[in-house]
Amino acid sequence: MEKLDPYLNETTQNYIDSIPESRLKKAVAYALGGSGKRLRPKLMLSLIESHGMDSKPFLKAALALELVHTYSLVHDDLPAMDDDDLRRGQPTTHIQFDEATAILVGDALLSDAFKLISDTNALDAQTKVQMVHILSEKIGSRGMVYGQILDIASEGQAVTSDDLMKINLHKTSHLLEASILFGAITSKRAPLHAYESLARNLGLLYQIQDDLLEVEGNEATTGKSFSDERRGKPTFITLLGLEKTKALNAAYEKAIQESLVTLHLKGTPFAQLISTILYRTH
């Protein structure tokens, strides 16, 4: 979905330009830069296009997803969290600037995400409310933030693979679910639970892939620090071993492919994007 990049670049720059000149503006631009894949907005936009609609009128709402994702990374990298020093192929925001600035960058990105949804003129009022409800539920105290607190609590503790699945469901899957649900409700698709199920499997697979990459990849290729082992975090590799983790990855891949068939999405731009995720190397 590289063809979406120029439109996302322009929408991102317009957002950055709207911020008053300040250290905050420079840090927001920095956090949104680097080698990020912008997977979440592309999932939304490619699903819209796969249903025969022009996705460009919905770029602001799609960018909202990237702002939320970036906020979560900036805060996740802080010394109080994962204490990472590399993200998207460059020093983390708190390393490049300072911790206070990084915290405020995350605060700004999260707040501005909801404004971008409200500013998307192509969406009717009911759809905007539905998106705000979905996003706030998927990232709040019962979603991504809950997953983060579970993740912190798991460090150095004896946990099961079911415990780890619960962490990853909330921390990783929920924002991917919001992204695909945004595409589904924009293109007036139903039933939503079928799209949500596909997204949930994709999110769990994505985290399993991250665990595999932390063993088989390298920081230069992935563009981020490998801190799980240093912080004593459980992974599917440490709990199940390499071969069982690969088998679990294959099982989720099969489930995702079956969902694409059920939803009549095989051969579409959305399916092509999913394929790049299934076989990613970073």
Q: Which residue has the higher pLDDT, 194 or 229?
A: 194
DSSP 105: H
**For residue 232, what are its two tokens?**
């004593």
pLDDT at 186 over 70: yes
Q: Give the pLDDT of residue 217.
A: 62
Q: Which residue has the higher pLDDT, 107 or 214?
A: 107
Total domains in the chain come to 1
Over the stretch 166-183, which tens digit does the pLDDT of each residue have? 999 999 999 999 999 999
Phi, psi for 91 (deg, rounded to 5): -55, 145
Q: Give the pLDDT of residue 214.
A: 85
Return all residues near 33 (Cβ < 8 A) that are at least 6 apart. 88, 90
pLDDT at 55 over 90: yes
Whether 171 and 148 have beta carbons less than 8 Å apart is answered as yes
Q: Give the pLDDT of residue 32.
A: 96
Q: How confident is the model at residue 282 (pLDDT cuts 50, 70, 90)?
A: confident
Q: Give the pLDDT of residue 232.
A: 65
What CATH code is carried by the domain that includes residue 174? 1.10.600.10
Q: Which residues form the domain of 223?
A: 2-278
What are the residue ranges of helices labelled H in 99-224? Answer: 99-118, 125-139, 144-154, 161-168, 174-186, 192-216, 219-222
Return all residues near 39 (Cβ < 8 A) that are at least 6 apart. 176, 179, 273, 277
**For residue 92, what are its two tokens?**
């983390």
Q: How confident is the model at residue 227 (pLDDT cuts 50, 70, 90)?
A: low
Q: Give the pLDDT of residue 197.
A: 95
**For residue 222, what are its two tokens?**
């992935």
pLDDT at 74 over 70: yes
The C-alpha angle with vertex 22 and arms to 20 and 26, in degrees rounded to 5, equals 105
C-alpha span between 232 and 239 (Å, rounded): 12
C-alpha span between 260 and 282 (Å, rounded): 23
Least confident window among 29-38, 102-111, 197-206: 29-38
Return all residues near 14 (Cβ < 8 A) that are at least 6 apart. none
pLDDT at 239 over 60: yes
Q: Give the pLDDT of residue 229.
A: 56
Over the stretch 242-281, which tens digit does the pLDDT of each residue have? 999 999 999 999 999 999 999 999 999 999 999 999 988 8
pLDDT at 228 over 80: no
Name the percent of the chain lying above pLDDT 90: 79
Q: Give the pLDDT of residue 2.
A: 79
pLDDT at 131 over 80: yes
Residue with tokens 């990298």: 77
- Would you call 53 helix, strand, or coil by DSSP? coil
CA 93 to chain centre: 18
pLDDT at 5 over 70: yes
Whether 193 and 56 have beta carbons less than 8 Å apart is answered as no
Q: How confident is the model at residue 83 (pLDDT cuts 50, 70, 90)?
A: confident
In angstroms, the Cα distances linking 175 to 218, 238, 251 are 25, 25, 21
Phi, psi for 109 (deg, rounded to 5): -60, -45
Least confident window among 37-41, 99-103, 228-232, 256-260: 228-232
pLDDT at 226 over 60: no
Q: How confident is the model at residue 70 (pLDDT cuts 50, 70, 90)?
A: very high
Whether 138 and 176 have beta carbons less than 8 Å apart is answered as no
Q: Give the pLDDT of residue 224.
A: 53
Residue 87 parent element (H or E): strand 86-87
C-alpha span between 65 and 4 (Å, rounded): 15
C-alpha span between 69 and 203 (Å, rounded): 13
